[in-house]
């Protein structure tokens, strides 16, 4: 069971994470934080060293949530190539899912932190690398299993897919139009079928 203190910390993160994600670091003020949580500065600064640490924790919190969504989704199949199709399928609903958390943290904080907050930027980079490693591993598993052509450069394709997905997320959010998300996922499915498949 959560102690009262642990509950408070969770409550702060859950409340504050979407705000930082939507507004960015500079545009989120401490009074936004206290207003949203219903707590005072004393409570916030008792739990987090400063605004930056809170923003980092909030980013990690949202990433964790979203990563667990996709992780459990691709568990639906054991087959590496099927897992790739499941990733494409997962992102078809990513707009409404990520909206719950105030948007895509990688895109939002990645752009926001660049030139502004090197600590946050570093956290974003680590997440991107982790995601790409996971996709690359799936592709490598697929090659080993004979499902995916041996000529495929796993890391290159992982980066390509990731880049396409981020582009689709940006376009979908900026234009408020799911066309980009859906169309890009179709494109990725075609890529899997026509380029990756052994």
115 binds DNA (CB under 7 A): no
Q: How far is the CB of 22 from its own copies (least distance, A)?
A: 4
Binding part of the chain for its own copies, among 31-39, 54-62, 64-72, 169-177 by CB under 8 A, reads 169-177
Count helices and strands in the chain by DSSP H and E runs: 10, 0
142 binds its own copies (CB under 8 A): no
Q: Is 3 left (phi over 0), alpha (psi -120 to 50) or beta?
A: beta
Whether 76 contacts 118, CB under 8 Å: no
In the list 28, 98, 132, 172, the residue contacting DNA (rule: CB under 7 A) is: 28
145 binds, among DNA, its own copies, none (CB under 5 to 8 A by kind): none
Token pair belonging to 85: 């199709």
* Dist. CA 36–CA 16, nearest whole Å: 7
* Dist. CA 76–CA 59, nearest whole Å: 27
In the list 22, 36, 43, 140, the residue contacting DNA (rule: CB under 7 A) is: 43
* Dist. CA 30–CA 20, nearest whole Å: 11
45 binds, among its own copies, DNA, none (CB under 5 to 8 A by kind): DNA
How distant, in Å, are the alpha carbons of 2, 16, 32, 105, 108 from that of 169? 35, 22, 26, 11, 10
* Dist. CA 132–CA 95, nearest whole Å: 20
Using CB under 8 A as the binding rule, the residues of this chain from 172 to 191 that contact its own copies are: 173-175, 179-180, 183-184, 187
Binding part of the chain for DNA, among 24-32, 121-129, 167-175, 190-198 by CB under 7 A, reads 24-32
Binding part of the chain for its own copies, among 42-50, 61-69, 110-118, 144-152 by CB under 8 A, reads 110-118
Q: How far is the CB of 49 from DNA (least distance, A)?
A: 7
Token pair belonging to 129: 């690398």
Q: Is 176 left (phi over 0), alpha (psi -120 to 50) or beta?
A: left
State the residues that interact with its own copies by CB under 8 A: 22-27, 102-103, 107-108, 110-112, 114-116, 121, 124-125, 128, 156, 159-160, 162-168, 170-171, 173-175, 179-180, 183-184, 187
State the residues that interact with DNA by CB under 7 A: 3-5, 8, 28-32, 39-43, 45-47, 50-52
């Amino acid at each position: 069971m959560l102690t009262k203190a642990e509950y408070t910390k969770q409550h702060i993160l859950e409340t504050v994470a979407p705000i930082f994600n939507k507004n960015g670091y500079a545009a989120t003020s401490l009074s936004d934080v206290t207003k949203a949580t219903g707590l005072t500065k004393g409570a916030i600064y008792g739990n987090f060293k400063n605004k930056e640490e809170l923003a980092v924790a909030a980013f990690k919190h949202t990433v964790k949530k979203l990563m667990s969504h996709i992780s459990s989704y691709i568990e639906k199949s054991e087959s590496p190539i099927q897992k790739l199709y499941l990733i494409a399928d997962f992102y078809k609903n990513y707009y409404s899912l990520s909206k719950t958390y105030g948007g895509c943290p990688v895109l939002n904080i990645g752009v926001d932190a660049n030139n502004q907050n090197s600590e946050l930027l570093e956290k974003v980079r680590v997440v991107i690398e982790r995601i790409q490693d996971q996709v690359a591993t799936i592709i490598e598993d697929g090659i080993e299993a004979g499902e995916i052509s041996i000529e495929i450069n796993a890391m290159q394709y992982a980066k390509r897919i990731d880049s396409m997905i981020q582009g689709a997320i940006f376009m979908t959010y900026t234009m408020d139009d799911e066309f980009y998300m859906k169309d890009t996922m179709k494109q990725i499915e075609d890529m899997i079928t026509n380029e990756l498949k052994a």
